[in-house]
A = this chain, B = another copy of it.
Amino acid sequence: LSSFKIAVIPGDGIGQEVMPEGLKIIELAANSVGITLELMQLDWACADYYLAHGVMLPEDWKKQLDGVDAIYFGAVGWPEVVPDHISLWDSLLQFRREFDQYINLRPVRTFAGVPFPLAGKAPGDIQYSIVRENTEGEYSSVGGVMFANTDREVVVQQSVFTRHGADRVLKYAYELAASSAPDSRRLTVATKSNGMAISMPWWDERAKAMSNNYPDVVWDKQHIDILCARLVLQPERFDVIVATNLFGDILSDLGPATTGTIGIAPSANLNPERVFPSLFEPVHGSAPDIAGKGIANPVGMIWSGAMMLDFLTQGDSRGRQAHDVILKAIEMVLANGPRTPDLGGDASTKEMGDAIAALV
């Protein structure tokens, strides 16, 4: 296959600003290896679509995405206009669930030129991947309020875990660890079995059962509280971390923070079987506080695009090649500038994007 159809959803806030940079660069890289991208622009966001229609997505959104190979997604959210739980549940989280993007893969690493805040650590100490369950668990829509608006008000929300859901994300994580270099075959399972005494001991059991299939992987489980502490104090201990939806969410903002900025962090929401389109988005959100200034760091968006090219052509070296060319260009611009303000520079989003594009 040499041509892929991509749905492009810039979204809100800085999503609008980083998307053009991402597109510019993935098109260049794709063309250079003989891949054609057919882009379908969609205005499904708070700012445009919701304001006009009162909902986040058109009713026939699935039909409109029929035949799409991947979704390239900026960021959704504009809390002044649409409460976050509506804008996110009816957009990003809906894609993740209904397209069964059950893996959220989030690499964490340092780059030369990006000062990272951990004193006493070497840049190479921070290099791991977070594999986050992306469809179930704590992000459930089951629950409700009783005795509403009275002193007796009670709110329950269920976390729902399935063996199907746990086993497939654990398997993916063990596979990733097993296929790493021999000295990087460590897997850490995030848990909280001492406090969440129903779901988490069960999760630990599933991890243990899966470990039997991967004798080469050295695994352990760590409670989420101390695990967060260790991402700061001993990041060199980690190669692959697998976590539930909520814990993966937390770890994958914290990890990038230890590399200096979450502006560079990418993520891939994968349906590994390719039955549904996968979705690629930066870890940062719409960032209303800096939106409109043209100073957002475009690297998370661009790197996510590189992951998209790699995933799309799996089994075909061209996607890998396009990915690597982009990463190399990102590395060089992070090292030598121009850099956006979050990295201590004064470049605009576009200047940084142009510099990366020039190297691709």
> Would you call A152 an interface residue if the criterion is a C-beta within 8 Å of the partner chain's C-beta atoms?
yes
Q: Is the CB of A85 within 8 A of B120?
A: no
Q: Which of B87, B121, B200, B257 contacts A85 (CB 8 A)?
A: B200
Q: Is the CB of A253 within 8 A of B226?
A: yes
Q: Is the CB of B157 within 8 A of A194?
A: no
Contact flag A252-B232 (CB < 8 Å), given A115-B119, A153-B162, A162-B154: no
Chain B residues with Cβ under 8 A from A144's Cβ?
A: 198
Seed contacts A115-B119, A138-B196, A154-B162; 19 additional CB < 8 Å A-B pairs: A83-B201, A85-B195, A85-B200, A88-B194, A117-B120, A139-B196, A143-B159, A153-B163, A156-B160, A156-B199, A157-B158, A157-B196, A192-B246, A195-B246, A226-B253, A226-B262, A228-B228, A229-B253, A229-B254
Q: What's the Cα separation between A246 and B228 when bound, in Å?
A: 13
Cross-chain pairs A/B with CB under 8 angstroms, 22 sampled: A83-B201, A85-B200, A117-B232, A141-B197, A144-B198, A155-B202, A156-B158, A156-B160, A156-B198, A157-B159, A157-B196, A158-B159, A195-B249, A196-B246, A226-B285, A228-B250, A229-B253, A229-B254, A230-B257, A232-B254, A250-B250, A254-B254
Q: Is the CB of B228 within 8 A of A195?
A: no
A84 nearest CB neighbor, chain B only: B194
> Would you call A358 an interface residue if the criterion is a C-beta within 8 Å of the partner chain's C-beta atoms?
no
Chain B residues with Cβ under 8 A from A176's Cβ?
A: none
Please encode chain A, from 145 to 179, with 1 for each CB lying within 8 Å of some chain B CB and 0 for all others: 10000111111111111111000000000000000
How far apart are A194's CB and chain B's nearest CB, in angstroms? 4
A257 nearest CB neighbor, chain B only: B229
Q: What's the Cα separation between A121 and B93 when bound, in Å?
A: 36
> Would you call A337 an interface residue if the criterion is a C-beta within 8 Å of the partner chain's C-beta atoms?
no
> Would you call A327 an interface residue if the criterion is a C-beta within 8 Å of the partner chain's C-beta atoms?
no
How far apart are A168's CB and chain B's nearest CB, in angstroms? 12
> Would you call A349 an interface residue if the criterion is a C-beta within 8 Å of the partner chain's C-beta atoms?
no
Which A residues, 285 to 330, have Cβ-Cβ distances below 8 Å to chain B?
Answer: 285
Q: Is the CB of A228 within 8 A of B254?
A: yes
How far apart are A191's CB and chain B's nearest CB, in angstroms? 9
Q: Is the CB of B158 within 8 A of A193?
A: no
How far apart are A350's CB and chain B's nearest CB, in angstroms? 25
A89 nearest CB neighbor, chain B only: B197
A229 nearest CB neighbor, chain B only: B257
> Would you call A224 an interface residue if the criterion is a C-beta within 8 Å of the partner chain's C-beta atoms?
yes
Q: Is the CB of A224 within 8 A of B197?
A: no
Chain B residues with Cβ under 8 A from A285's Cβ?
A: 226
Contact flag A233-B249 (CB < 8 Å), given A118-B118, A120-B117, A156-B159: no
Q: Which of B120, B141, B225, B261 contacts A249 (CB 8 A)?
A: B225
